Amino acid sequence: MQIFNSLTGRKDEFHTHEPNVVRMYVCGDTVYDFCHIGHARSKVAFDIVRRYLEYRGYEVNFVRNITDIDDKIIKRAAENGESIQSLTDRFTKYMHEDYDRLGILRPTHEPKATEHIAGIIAMTQQLIDKGYAYVASNGDVLYSVSKFEAYGKLSGRDLEDMRAGARVAVEEAKHDPADFVLWKRAKPGEPFWPSPWGDGRPGWHIECSAMSLDLLGSHFDIHGGGMDLKFPHHENEIAQSCAATGDTFATFWMHNGFVNVDDEKMSKSLNNFFRIRDVLDSGKLRDPEVLRFFLVSSQYRGPINYSLVQIEQADAALGRLYTALRDVTPASAFEPSEATRRFEEAMDDDFNTPDAIAALQTLATEINRAKSAGDAALASSLAAELKKLAGVLGLLQSAPEAFLQKGVGASSLSDADIEKLIGDRKAARAGRNFKEADRIRQQLSDAGIVLEDKPDGTTTWRRN
């Protein structure tokens, strides 16, 4: 298995620190607002990494943190006139609801920053004792980047260039304009915890270093997150963790690409910023799985373009997979076909999900051929294979009939209306009133209902 390692800038052969066990840390959310589709892109990408590693037989210890204290949280709680815990509890609940709807598995551990204050203080003290950090004149504890020779190795940034672009005038407490905060001295009215350097709270970067150390140890296998976290967040994590422990920290660094909206980068300033729940409840998706399929249809490292056309294409492609499974009972066991080899080959190549989906589509075509040839045993075996492989991507989790009969947007015809019209059409055909039968079929078609007449005289339907 090859994984593109941001630390080396190439695909490296995957290996683990401990045989058959993967220890994996992915940066989670700051819980003060609703999750957007950029969050969904990252969480789905690493959910698939986790699922495939488990499919390959690894035991995966998957940690995804929650940042429940920072400047944005403090400001939002004050604006709302509520407590910080009330705010963060509510948006943690909303986050779980959104991710559950997208089929994202809950992590093995989901630590909160406020639950790891003791570890954060201990790591900060280690860095001070080793000469990598200092207490500044304003009471903050700062990391001295000049003391860590490897600083910039992940992002490829040069320290002198960073200094040249820094605003020294507003950062007088820093020894070096590139230094960053480990512990913030509390301002009046802010939440705080006692520490050897006075009342305060953790800086953002130190949280992940302390939590990963506590739950995964000083050397683990995979650290993941969005491309926007590579610098400064992940760069600072490396500097802190390696300096404090003297160990390797993460072997593989994985970063997912950005989401564009109609070929423009998603941002609040452009008003093209979409929350997950707004997309799922917009009436433009048949099922949340359509959004997941769309996100999986591009390789995780590249950008992905969100548009209504792309969503419609994802709906059609996923619908074809479900249609292949219709009227087929998957076998309890199957002999893997060439499609499984192609699927695994694609996923072993840095989780190439587009090629993996192509293998699923080939299976769907073969199922349809087996059904047409009347080979129920072969169709059943291939259906079981399709379900298993699709499950690795978190797809095909609904019953085919239930998925296909869901509509997009508000429909003028209920399920009961459709069944009645199908009954009326059947009666018209039995009475050889083919003009009326055709009229009913056209009425259903105009309402987005596709009929499929079976050789045994029954008719099934799906919403188009």
Q: Which tens digit of pLDDT belongs to each residue from 26-51?
A: 999 999 999 999 999 999 999 999 99
Any known ligand binding at 268?
yes
Q: Is 463 helix (H, G, I), strand (E, B) or coil?
A: strand
Alpha-carbon torsion 178, 183, 185, 187, what sign?
Answer: positive
Which pLDDT score, from 0 to 100, does residue 168 have?
A: 47
Which pLDDT score, from 0 to 100, does residue 402 have?
A: 93
Q: What average pLDDT score do residues 118-127 get? A: 98
Query: CA nearest 95: which of 35, 14, 182?
Result: 35
Any known ligand binding at 237?
yes
Neighbours of 461 (CB within 10 A): 18
Structure-token match 């199908």, residue found: 422
Which pLDDT score, from 0 to 100, does residue 169 have?
A: 44
Residue-wise pLDDT tens digits, 216-254: 999 999 999 999 999 999 999 999 999 999 999 999 999
- Fold agreement between 2-259 and 305-404: no
186 and 199 Cβ atoms separated by less than 8 Å:
yes
| Candidate CATH numbers 3.40.50.9100, 3.40.50.11240, 3.40.50.620, 2.40.170.20; the one for domain 2-259 | 3.40.50.620
Which pLDDT score, from 0 to 100, does residue 165 have?
A: 60
Residues whose CB falls within 8 Å of the CB of residue 5, separated by 6 or more in sequence, listed in order: 11, 12, 251, 252, 253, 254
DSSP state of 410: -
What is the overall mean pLDDT for the chain?
93
Q: What average pLDDT score do residues 143-157 get? A: 95
CA distance 288 to 261: 18
Maximum Cα interatomic distance, the chain, rounded to a whole number of Å: 93
Q: In what order do the strands lie in the sheet with 304-306?
A: 264-265, 259-261, 304-306
CA distance 455 to 255: 51
Task: Name the percent of the chain lying above pLDDT 90.
Answer: 80
Token pair belonging to 130: 């080793």
Q: What average pLDDT score do residues 353-378 get? A: 98
Residues whose CB falls within 8 Å of the CB of residue 368, separated by 6 or more in sequence, listed in order: 324
Cα–Cα distance list, 441 to 246, 402, 422, 459 (Å): 72, 21, 8, 11
Task: Name the percent of the chain lying above pLDDT 70.
Answer: 97
Which pLDDT score, from 0 to 100, does residue 170 have?
A: 45
Cis peptide before 232 (omega within 30 of 0): yes
Which pLDDT score, from 0 to 100, does residue 413 have?
A: 75
Which pLDDT score, from 0 to 100, does residue 129 have?
A: 98
Which pLDDT score, from 0 to 100, does residue 409 have?
A: 61
Answer whether residue 110 shows pLDDT above 70: yes
Token pair belonging to 195: 């520490």
Query: CA nearest 389: which of 359, 366, 368?
Result: 359
Answer whether residue 320 shows pLDDT above 90: yes
Residues whose CB falls within 8 Å of the CB of residue 244, separated by 6 or more in sequence, listed in order: 123, 126, 127, 130, 132, 209, 213
Any known ligand binding at 208?
yes
DSSP state of 18: B
- Domain assignments of the chain as residue spans, ordered by start: 2-259, 305-404, 415-463
Alpha-carbon torsion 165, 166, 170, 172, what sign?
Answer: negative
Which parts of 18-177 are beta strand (E)?
21-30, 59-67, 133-135, 141-143
Which pLDDT score, from 0 to 100, does residue 461 have?
A: 85
Residue-wise pLDDT tens digits, 411-461: 567 788 888 888 889 888 888 998 888 888 888 887 878 888 887 777 888
How, if at all, do strands 21-30 and 219-226 pair?
Answer: parallel
Residue-wise pLDDT tens digits, 170-202: 467 899 999 999 999 999 999 999 999 999 999
CA distance 185 to 196: 11
Answer whether residue 120 shows pLDDT above 50: yes
Residue-wise pLDDT tens digits, 349-359: 999 999 999 99
Answer whether residue 90 shows pLDDT above 50: yes
Which pLDDT score, from 0 to 100, does residue 22 have?
A: 98
Answer whether residue 85 shows pLDDT above 90: yes
Answer whether residue 132 shows pLDDT above 80: yes
Q: What is the CATH number of domain 305-404?
A: 1.20.120.640
Per-range mean pLDDT, top range of 140-154, 163-177, 270-284: 140-154
